[in-house]
Amino acid sequence: MEKLKISPVSRIEGEGQITIYVDDNGNIERARFQMLEFRGFEEFLKQRPIWEMPLITSKICGICPIPHHLAAVKAAEAALGVSEIPPLAIKLRKLLLDGGSIQDHALHFIYLAFPDFVFDASEVKPEKRSVIGLFKDYPDLVKKGIFLRKFGVTLAEAVGGHSIYPTTAIPGGMSRPIDEQKRTQLLDMLDEALQYAEETAKLAWKATVGLSKKYPANFSSKFMGLSRDGNCAHYDGSIVVIDEAGKVNSRFEADDYEVYIEESVERDSWGKFPFLKKQGVRDGVYRVGPMARLNIAESINGESATKWLAKYKELAGKKPNQHLFSYHLARCIELVSHLEAVGQVLQDQNITGKEVRTPVQRAAGEGVGAVEAPRGTLIHHYRCNDKGVVEYANLIVPTTHNNFALNASLAEVAEEVVKDGKLDDRGTQRMEMAVRAYDPCLSCATHAWTPDKKNGAQIKIVRTSEQEEMR
């Protein structure tokens, strides 16, 4: 057997590689996206106080620290038996999540993914295929990207303290309110940000439609995401799974995730492979992230985003969008939606009110918290003793949910671009474009894993024959 390697995969968040395993007859046996980092969070989260979880788990990821911060605080509140926090604190947390997603989506689409749409690797040098190269040829676009990020970062700082590693969400609410000056500063920036987001969505539309026609993809899956009464939700809601036809497959509260999701281990990846328990490994493959959320959503926040959602839905007829490049479009539609939602909330002067927390005492308990991170559904699960010390921790991150799907997409592209056991520059770029569509976050995915000892669940070992069928 031969191996083709792309290492490191460029323009993604973290150090990873693609390995394509080619058999002696030159056929693609499988393709793997492999992460080259290891950290081991779930192990050292144990023995730490549960109120420290929002501060430690935000360090899992420098790109999406905010969803970790919030999933952790929600899980901690559930474990400590906090049934209610001030409504203002919930509003602030939603704003914080919006700010994080705005900067994240802008970063991914413009800084990391966009160079692929204009710089073909068979013609353009690797140094140039970057945001720096973009800056020379498309300075306006990059400036817009910088501004969108700046808006997201400013918002996240206003609410969360730092934008990289927020600190203000604590069990019971927020450690401090936001101030009026920040509110007006953000409102002043809002129109410009909205205009740029709108333009970005148009670019994404063009890129998505063009690329999907040029490079058809057949891989299809189920989708998972949070939804509240049919509305695209990020901070709260139930977890909804839809099937390939768009019908609801299951709907459950985050607390029950173990009933619905199982994880398998394969020998060539540090990351585990979750699937829907009921359907089993073969049929239980699902995807999360912007494409999943919009496929599931019947409605979305914001006037313009609502129009975009309708256009998005038309793309695939009555069925869910399945093409991996639809991720880009969905991401940018969300960008518009987040900004519109932020505008509505910031118009309200009461957002600077002072009632943002209620005191919470340490207690024994167990709790699950789920939020939608930019890349998809994020689940934190803790159990603590009466001193508040964590005894069990389990985290399922978006990049892991997408593990099966990402590898399947890679195998599909590999079939097309690997010729005579070789990969040229454009083929390499095509492989990487598949990875980038999913926007994997390696920092998150390499935080490490703990099997569910509490219920004695078995890790399922996937055999090669099953892998074959999955492809």
Partner 1 sequence: MSEQKPTVAIGLLSGCFGCLMSFLDLADDLAEVFNLIEFRRCPFNDVRELEHVTVGMLEGALSTDHDMKLAKEMREKCDVLVSLGTCPSYGGIPGMRNFQDSKTICEDVYGRRVPDDEELPQLLPAVVTLASVVKVDYFIRGCPPTTEKIKETLVAILEGKKVPEKTRNLCVECPRTKESILTPRRGFLTQGVRSVMELDEIDPTRCFLEQGVVCMGLVTVEGCNARCLGDNMPCRGCMGPVPGVPSQGNKLIDAVATLIPSGALMFFEDSVGIAFRYTHAADESMRK
CA dihedral (346, 349, 354, 360) in degrees, to 10, reads -40
- Which residue, 68 or 234, is less far from partner 1 as judged by CB? 68
- Half-sphere exposure in the Cβ direction for 238 (13 Å, CA): 11
Q: Could you tell me which stretch among 161-169, 181-189, 201-209, 373-381 binds partner 1 (CB under 8 A)?
A: 161-169
Q: How far is Cα 323 from Cα 330, in angstroms, rounded to an integer?
A: 11
- Which residue, 42 or 412, is less far from partner 1 as judged by CB? 42
For residue 165, state whether it binds partner 1 (rule: CB under 8 A): yes
Shortest CB 80 distance to partner 1, Å: 8
> Mapping DSSP to helix (H, G, I), strand (E, B) and coil, where does residue 38 land?
coil
Picking from 12, 52, 35, the residue whose alpha carbon sits closest to that of residue 447 is 35
Q: Could you tell me which stretch among 291-299, 303-311, 386-394, 403-411 binds partner 1 (CB under 8 A)?
A: 386-394
Which of positions 166-185 make contact with partner 1 (CB under 8 A)?
167-168, 170-172, 175-176
Q: Could you tell me which stretch among 10-18, 277-285, 294-302, 371-379 binds partner 1 (CB under 8 A)?
A: 10-18
Q: How far is Cα 146 from Cα 189, in angstroms, rounded to an integer?
A: 13
- Which residue, 320 or 398, is less far from partner 1 as judged by CB? 398
Q: How far is Cα 366 from Cα 385, in angstroms, rounded to an integer?
A: 9
For residue 228, state whether it binds partner 1 (rule: CB under 8 A): no
Write the CA distances from 249 to 278, 309, 370, integer angstroms: 10, 22, 19
- Which residue, 49 or 421, is less far from partner 1 as judged by CB? 49
Q: Could you tell me which stretch among 217-225, 249-257, 268-276, 302-310 binds partner 1 (CB under 8 A)?
A: 268-276
Instruction: Write phi, then psi, for 418 (nearest 5 degrees).
Output: -85, 115
Q: Could you tell me which stretch among 144-152, 207-215, 217-225, 229-237 binds partner 1 (CB under 8 A)?
A: 144-152
Q: Among 388, 398, 427, 440, which residue interacts with partner 1 (rule: CB under 8 A)?
A: 388
Give the sheet arrangement for strand 28-35, strand by strand: 2-6, 16-22, 28-35
Shortest CB 52 distance to partner 1, Å: 7
For residue 289, state whether it binds partner 1 (rule: CB under 8 A): no
The 291-330 site mask, x for binding partner 1 (CB under 8 A), equals ----------------------------------------
Are 404 and 273 spatial neighbours (Cβ–Cβ below 8 Å)? Answer: yes
Secondary structure element (H or E) that encloses residue 334, with its range: helix 326-347
CA dihedral (156, 160, 165, 168) in degrees, to 10, reads -170
Which of positions 34-93 make contact with partner 1 (CB under 8 A)?
34, 36-40, 42-44, 47-49, 51-52, 55-56, 59-63, 65
For residue 3, state whether it binds partner 1 (rule: CB under 8 A): yes
Are 379 and 370 spatial neighbours (Cβ–Cβ below 8 Å)? Answer: yes
Q: How far is Cα 327 from Cα 112, in angstroms, rounded to an integer?
A: 14
- Which residue, 150 or 228, is less far from partner 1 as judged by CB? 150
Eight-state DSSP code of residue 122: T
For residue 362, state whether it binds partner 1 (rule: CB under 8 A): yes
| Dihedral sign from CA coordinates of 173, 261, 458, 19 | negative
Residues in the chain: 471
| Dihedral sign from CA coordinates of 257, 444, 204, 341 | positive
The 85-114 site mask, x for binding partner 1 (CB under 8 A), equals ----------------------x---xx--
Q: Among 91, 93, 129, 381, which residue interacts with partner 1 (rule: CB under 8 A)?
A: 129
What is the size of the binding site for partner 1 (CB under 8 A)? 90
Which of positions 412-451 make contact with partner 1 (CB under 8 A)?
429, 432, 443, 446, 448-451
